[in-house]
Amino acid sequence: MRMYDLIYKKKNGGKLTKEEIDFIVQGYTKGEIPDYQMSAFLMAVCLKGMDMEETTDLTLSMRDSGETLDMSKIDGVTVDKHSTGGVGDKTSLCLSAMVAACGVPVAKMSGRGLGHTGGTIDKLESIDGFSTSITPEEFFDHVNKNKFALMGQTADLAPADKKIYALRDVTATVDCIPLIASSIMSKKLASGAEAIVLDVKTGSGAFMKTLEDAVTLAEAMVKIGNNAGRETSAVITNMDQPLGRAVGNALEVIEAIDLLKGEGPEDLMDDCLALGSLMLIAGKVAKTKEEAEVMLKATITEKTALKKFADFVEAQGGDQEFVYNTDKFKKATLIDPVPSPVSGYVKSIRADEIGMCSLILGGGRETKESTIDLSVGLILQKKVGDRVEKGETLAYIHSNSKEKTEAAMERFLKAYSFSDEKPEPGKTILAFVAPDGKVTYN
């Protein structure tokens, strides 16, 4: 078998066999296939595509390029949730505690962020002492005791994906649905959860800009998961404006805690209920979405999810007093209002531009070596559909640098557009993809 022949075959629209895909993935991971040939192959996939069988074979080959986690030591059906990423997306923080409080084990592996905000691990490290540097044995023990634990992804988990993604990033081959789906699902399958619920974002602050593309990606990932023997479903959610009001690491953790106290924003709660319902059904503790929503709401009113989150923080070395008293979080030295330039209604908010404001302030990484300032970010006071008067505060910028505040404020104002007529705020939940592939629009 020669790489040249396989590149030629895909360039001409041919279908690759499982053995041919394994030859490519394992050969490249081991360094036997050079970057220039892999780059040519990735571009051929972007131009000619892959069918569902090829995409599944690619995913499983990437999964099998390294270690896989065995969740059999955990009692109950383990359910994992994955988001394709967005601005202000702190859902995992509160959702995991709500689902765990309902008795479904959440064994989550997360990474650090690269882009406008930190990842889940970065956010949680704004709590003094919190650490994800735990062994697999400690991880399993925490889940069995508390129903909820989080550890960092190891380098041995789907190493093919890490190497291939780095190449895609510099060869204009990122925006290809078979490659996106296989990248995400190879890591999820290697993580070992028995059921997977996907949060696929669409809109200005998401990778998939249109609902049609987001549904296509969700369908592909759901098919891959179920073909691999994992019950998989997806929710398509709106990212045409930031989720919630907080953007920035510590600020997002505080907002997630506020939700667990019953004081969170409505769109974040909608996201948690939609995803959480699928997680409870997959975890075999609820039969319908309606039954699951009642259970999830009870974890808020009865404060069981708040306690679950506090226990999770303490189990992983963190100070649980941060959960009960959010004044303990480190605060930015400068908090400045952004005045509205006009009177009217907020017509739209470019979520990606708000994310860039957070990056300017130091809340994200431009490179893997960048250091994140966990205290900075933005708190939005006005969202789509809200009335605003000229000079009224649109948001507060939390910063530790006057120069960064000024740069972020200039960028922020470009993200907002206004109208004289009140627009209809978009729905948070746009569609569902069931394990059988059926798509239901909300």
Tell me which of 163, 187, 201, 245 is the catalytic residue: 187
Query: How crowded is the C-beta side of 29, counted as CA atoms within 13 Å?
Result: 21
C-alpha 95/C-alpha 102 separation (Å) is: 11
> Known catalytic residue: 82?
yes
Tell me which of 63, 82, 116, 123 is the catalytic residue: 82
C-alpha 402/C-alpha 340 separation (Å) is: 20
Tell me which of 89, 161, 267, 271 is the catalytic residue: 161
Tell me which of 83, 92, 182, 183 is the catalytic residue: 183
CATH code of the domain made up of 71-325+428-441 = 3.40.1030.10
Over its C-alpha atoms, the chain yields an Rg (Å, rounded) of: 22
Domain boundaries, the chain: 3-49, 71-325+428-441, 332-419
| Inter-helix orientation angle 18-29/35-48, to 10° | 140
Architecture of domain 3-49: Up-down Bundle (1.20)
The correct CATH number of 332-419 out of 3.90.1170.30, 3.40.50.300, 3.40.80.10, 3.10.20.30 is 3.90.1170.30
> Known catalytic residue: 168?
yes
Q: List the one residue out of 418, 318, 412 whose CA is nearest residue 361.
A: 412
Residues in the chain: 442
Three-state secondary structure readout of the chain? CCHHHHHHHHHCCCCCCHHHHHHHHHHHHCCCCCHHHHHHHHHHHHHHCCCHHHHHHHHHHHHCCCECCCHHHCCCCCEEEEECCCCCCCHHHHHHHHHHHCCCCEEEEECCCCECCCCHHHHHCCCCCCCCCCCHHHHHHHHHHHCEEEEECCCCECHHHHHHHHHHHCCCCCCCHHHHHHHHHHHHHHHCCCEEEEEEEECCCCCECCHHHHHHHHHHHHHHHHHCCCEEEEEEEECCCCCCCEECHHHHHHHHHHHHCCCCCHHHHHHHHHHHHHHHHHCCCCCCHHHHHHHHHHHHHCCHHHHHHHHHHHHCCCCCHHHHCHHHCCCCCEEEEEECCCCEEEEEECHHHHHHHHHHHCCCECCCCCCCCCCCEEEECCCCCCEECCCCEEEEEEECCHHHHHHHHHHHHHHEEEECCCCCCCCCEEEEECCCCCEEEC
> Known catalytic residue: 187?
yes
pLDDT 10s digits, 82-107: 888 889 889 999 999 999 999 999 98
First to last CA, the chain: 48
> Known catalytic residue: 145?
no
The pLDDT of residue 110: 75
In DSSP terms, 433 is beta-bridged to: 234, 439
Look up tokens 């270690």; give the residue.
Answer: 67
pTM listed for this prediction: 0.90
Tell me if 47 sits within 8 A of 13, measured CB to CB: no
Tell me which of 123, 142, 168, 188 is the catalytic residue: 168
pLDDT 10s digits, 9-38: 999 999 999 999 999 999 999 999 999 999
The pLDDT of residue 300: 98
The pLDDT of residue 442: 86
Tell me if 125 sits within 8 A of 333, measured CB to CB: no
> Known catalytic residue: 419?
no
Q: Which amino acid is residue 362, in one-letter code? A: G
Kind of pairing between the strands at 416-419 and 231-238: unpaired
Q: What is the pLDDT along the chain (442 residues), one digit of tens a residue?
A: 899 999 999 999 999 999 999 999 999 999 999 999 999 999 999 999 999 999 999 999 999 998 888 888 898 899 999 888 889 889 999 999 999 999 999 988 776 655 555 678 889 999 999 998 888 889 899 999 999 999 876 668 889 998 998 899 889 898 899 999 999 999 889 988 899 999 999 998 888 889 999 999 999 999 999 999 999 999 999 999 999 999 999 999 999 999 999 999 999 999 999 999 999 999 999 999 999 999 999 999 999 999 999 999 999 999 999 999 999 999 999 999 999 999 999 999 999 999 999 999 998 766 656 688 999 999 999 999 999 999 999 999 999 999 999 999 999 999 999 999 999 878 999 999 999 999 999 8
